[in-house]
Amino acid sequence: MNSNLTLVNKISLLGLFALLAGTGNGILFALVFALTLSFTALIIRFIYLTYESFFSQKTGKIILWAAGFAISYFLYQLLPQIFQSQAVHFNYYFILIGATPLLYAELNNKSFSNFVINHLLFLDLMLAVSLLRELLGYGSILNYQLFIKAPLSIAAEAPGAFMIVGITAFIYEIIVEKLNLERKIKKEDSIELESEVKV
């Protein structure tokens, strides 16, 4: 991926499908969606690092993607039974989290803190987008009606989701800039690289 992109840009683009598909049915669904994606990513990462030499090859990468689909399909079958009242929201899009590029980004990066930061940032983005879509698209927060008429009904639809993701990403850009999060990650990466070179 283009190194000129910021951390928020990368997370937004790699998790775009999940951000769009997983934020249309309320905050609970968005939270479950984000956590299951991170759980799947953790398993994929563990599998990759355990058998790195095999999965870095073309055949291995295909098998790894298949494993992502398999884990996602298992979760797709399991979660509606746990969240019975929300089962209607666990549609076939849920299976496709196994193919989300965010799962397979920087697999060879051994820094676990980077992995955690990326997925925490994604979780925050997912919840913020879901919150904004519900507030603007339906006029409610956690199904508590705040507005009689939705302020921006298009936010509940797919075209509005793109707009909300863009606005949210812009706000997060400012927050990440203020916290110097990106510089900290790059510094940590360079320290880790230097230690590997010395070894």
Q: Provide the token pair at 71.
A: 């884990």
- Residue 2 located in a structural domain: no
- Residue 37 located in a structural domain: yes
- Residue 47 located in a structural domain: yes
The range of the structural domain enclosing residue 26 comes to 7-198
Q: Are 34 and 122 in contact (CB under 8 A)?
A: yes
Cross-strand bridge partners of residue 155: none
- Residue 55 located in a structural domain: yes
Question: For the residues 115-124, what does the mean pLDDT come to?
Answer: 89
pLDDT of 198 over the 60 cut: no
Task: Give the chain's domain count.
Answer: 1
- Residue 1 located in a structural domain: no
Q: What is the pLDDT of residue 156?
A: 82
pLDDT of 191 over the 80 cut: no
CA distances (Å), origin 132, targets 27, 83, 162, 166: 10, 23, 12, 12
- Residue 159 located in a structural domain: yes
- Residue 20 located in a structural domain: yes
The pTM of the full predicted model, rounded to 2 decimals, is: 0.81
Residue 40 banded pLDDT, cuts 50, 70, 90: very high
pLDDT of 189 over the 60 cut: no
DSSP string covering 63-122, please?
HHHHHHHHHHHHHHHHHHHHSGGGGGG--GGGGGGGG-GGGTTTTT---HHHHHHHHHHH
Q: What is the pLDDT of residue 46?
A: 92
